[in-house]
Structure 1
Amino acid sequence: MSFIPIVIFPALFILVFLGIPVAFSLIIISVSFGYLILGDLIFLQLYGPILSTSSNFILAAIPLFIFMGTILERTGIALRLFQALQLWVGRWPGGVAIATILMCAVFAAASGVVGAVEIVVGLMAIPAMQKYKYDGSLIAGTICAGGSLGTIIPPSIVVVVYASMAQLSIGQLFAATMLPGLLMVVFFVGYILLRAYLKPQDAPPISKEDNDIPLKTKLLITVKALLPPLILIFAVLGSLLVGAASPTEAAAVGAVGALLLAAAFKELKWKTLKSALAVTVRITSMIMLIVVGGTMFTSVFALSGGGQMVRDFVVSAEFGEVGLILFLLAIVFIAGFVLDWISIVLIFIPIFIPIINAAGINQIWFTVMVMVVIQTSYLTPPMAPSIFYLRSIAPPNLTYKHMYRGVIPFVMIQLLVLIVVAFIPGVATYLPTLLVGL
Structure 2
Amino acid sequence: MGDAVLLMFPALIVLIALGIPIAFSMVLVASVFGFIRFEEIVFRQFAQRVDEVASNYVLGAIPLFIFMGAILERAGIAERLFDAIYMWTRRLPGGLAIAALVMCTIFAAASGVVGATETLVGMLAIPAMLKRKYDNSLIAGTICAGGSLGTVIPPSIPVIVLAPIMTLPVGDLMAGILVPGLMMAAMFSLYIIVSATLKPSLAPRDTDPDPFTMGEKIRFTLKALVPPVVLIALVLGTLFSGLATPTEAAACGSAGVLFLALCYGKLSFKMVLDASLQTVSLTAMILAIVLAGVMFSGVLFASGGMMAIRGFLDSFGFGTAGVIALILIITFILGFAVELTSIVLIMTSISVPILKLYDVDLLWFSIVFLITLQTSYLTPPMAPSIFYLRAIAPPTMTLKQMYWGVIPFIICQLIVLALVITFPELATWMPKLIYG
TM-score bracket, normalised by the shorter chain, equals: over 0.9
Q: What is the distance in 2 between the residues matched to 1:205 and 1:12? A: 51
Q: What is the distance in 2 between the residues matched to 1:198 and 1:272? A: 45
Matched, 1:272 2:271: yes
Question: Is the partner of 2:93 in helix, strand or coil?
Answer: coil
How far apart are 1:405 and its partner, in Å? 1.2
Percent identity over paired residues: 50
Q: What is the distance in 1 between the residues matched to 2:177 and 2:405? A: 25
Q: What is the distance in 2 between the residues matched to 1:54 and 1:25? A: 20
Q: What is the distance in 1 between the residues matched to 2:13 and 2:382? A: 14
2:6–2:309: 8 Å Cα contact kept in structure 1? no
Q: What is the number of equivalent residue pairs in this alignment?
A: 436
The aligned amino acid for 2:40 is D
Instruction: List runs of 5+ in structure 2 lacking aligned partners.
Output: none
**Which residue number corresponds to residue 69 of structure 1?**
69
Q: What is the distance in 1 between the residues matched to 2:212 and 2:327? A: 52
**Which residue number corresponds to residue 222 of structure 2?**
223
1:119–1:389: 8 Å Cα contact kept in structure 2? yes
Q: What is the distance in 2 between the residues matched to 1:242 and 1:314? A: 41
Write the mapping of 1:233-272 to structure 2, written as runs, cut at 5 A: 233-272=232-271
Could you give the per-residue CA deviations for residues 296-327 of structure 1, whole angstroms, max 9, x where no partner exists? 22122223322221122334444333333222
Matched, 1:299 2:298: yes
**Which residue number corresponds to residue 85 of structure 1?**
85
How far apart are 1:3 and its partner, in Å? 5.4
How far apart are 1:168 and its partner, in Å? 0.6
Could you give the per-residue CA deviations for residues 345-386 of structure 1, whole angstroms, max 9, x where no partner exists? 111212211222232222111110001000011111222111
How far apart are 1:330 and its partner, in Å? 1.5
Q: Kindly tell me: are residues 281 and 207 of structure 1, through their superposed partners in 2, closer, same or farther at Cα, counting changes over 3 Å?
A: farther
1:16–1:338: 8 Å Cα contact kept in structure 2? no
Question: Is the partner of 1:105 in helix, strand or coil?
Answer: helix
Q: What is the distance in 1 between the residues matched to 2:352 and 2:25? A: 24
RMSD of the alignment, in Å? 1.5
213-222 or 332-341, larger mean C-alpha shift = 332-341
Could you give the per-residue CA deviations for residues 370-410 of structure 1, whole angstroms, max 9, x where no partner exists? 01000011111222111111111222112211111111111
The aligned amino acid for 1:59 is L
The aligned amino acid for 2:188 is F
**Which residue number corresponds to residue 320 of structure 2?**
321
Write the mapping of 1:204-223 to structure 2, written as runs, cut at 5 A: 204-209=204-209, 211-223=210-222
Matched, 1:281 2:280: yes
The aligned amino acid for 1:389 is Y
**Which residue number corresponds to residue 194 of structure 2?**
194
Q: What is the distance in 2 between the residues matched to 1:53 and 1:16? A: 23
Q: What is the distance in 1 between the residues matched to 2:240 and 2:191? A: 31
**Which residue number corresponds to residue 339 of structure 1?**
338
1:91–1:208: 8 Å Cα contact kept in structure 2? no
Could you give the per-residue CA deviations for residues 404-437 of structure 1, whole angstroms, max 9, x where no partner exists? 1111111111111000101111111111011222
Q: What is the distance in 2 between the residues matched to 1:380 and 1:33? A: 34
**Which residue number corresponds to residue 387 of structure 2?**
388
Question: Is the partner of 1:59 in helix, strand or coil?
Answer: helix
Q: Kindly tell me: are residues 134 and 393 of structure 1, through their superposed partners in 2, closer, same or farther at Cα, counting changes over 3 Å?
A: same
Matched, 1:134 2:140: no
Q: What is the distance in 1 between the residues matched to 2:254 and 2:91? A: 35
Could you give the per-residue CA deviations for residues 49-95 of structure 1, whole angstroms, max 9, x where no partner exists? 22211211000000111111211121000111011111111221111
Write the mapping of 1:88-237 to structure 2, written as runs, cut at 5 A: 88-209=88-209, 211-237=210-236
Q: What is the distance in 1 between the residues matched to 2:219 and 2:395? A: 37
How far apart are 1:337 and its partner, in Å? 2.3
2:3–2:305: 8 Å Cα contact kept in structure 1? no
The aligned amino acid for 1:352 is S
**Which residue number corresponds to residue 46 of structure 1?**
46
The aligned amino acid for 1:319 is F
Instruction: List runs of 5+ in structure 1 lacking aligned partners.
Output: none
The aligned amino acid for 1:265 is Y
1:13–1:338: 8 Å Cα contact kept in structure 2? no
Question: Is the partner of 2:336 in helix, strand or coil?
Answer: coil
35-44 or 83-92, larger mean C-alpha shift = 35-44
**Which residue number corresponds to residue 356 of structure 1?**
355
Could you give the per-residue CA deviations for residues 76-125 of structure 1, whole angstroms, max 9, x where no partner exists? 00111011111111221111111111100000001101111111111111
**Which residue number corresponds to residue 55 of structure 1?**
55
**Which residue number corresponds to residue 400 of structure 2?**
401
The aligned amino acid for 2:267 is L
Q: What is the distance in 1 between the residues matched to 2:23 and 2:204? A: 44
Q: What is the distance in 2 between the residues matched to 1:108 and 1:114? A: 7
267-276 or 59-68, larger mean C-alpha shift = 267-276
The aligned amino acid for 1:423 is T
The aligned amino acid for 1:135 is D
2:122–2:392: 8 Å Cα contact kept in structure 1? yes
Q: What is the distance in 1 between the residues matched to 2:228 and 2:77? A: 8
Q: Kindly tell me: are residues 12 and 338 of structure 1, through their superposed partners in 2, closer, same or farther at Cα, counting changes over 3 Å?
A: farther
**Which residue number corresponds to residue 289 of structure 2?**
290
1:4–1:33: 8 Å Cα contact kept in structure 2? no
Q: What is the distance in 2 between the residues matched to 1:357 and 1:39? A: 30
The aligned amino acid for 1:343 is S
The aligned amino acid for 2:5 is P
The aligned amino acid for 1:108 is A
1:105–1:149: 8 Å Cα contact kept in structure 2? yes
1:4–1:304: 8 Å Cα contact kept in structure 2? no
Q: Kindly tell me: are residues 320 and 6 of structure 1, through their superposed partners in 2, closer, same or farther at Cα, counting changes over 3 Å?
A: closer
**Which residue number corresponds to residue 371 of structure 1?**
370
Per the normalisation by structure 1, the TM-score is: 0.96
Question: Is the partner of 1:392 in helix, strand or coil?
Answer: helix
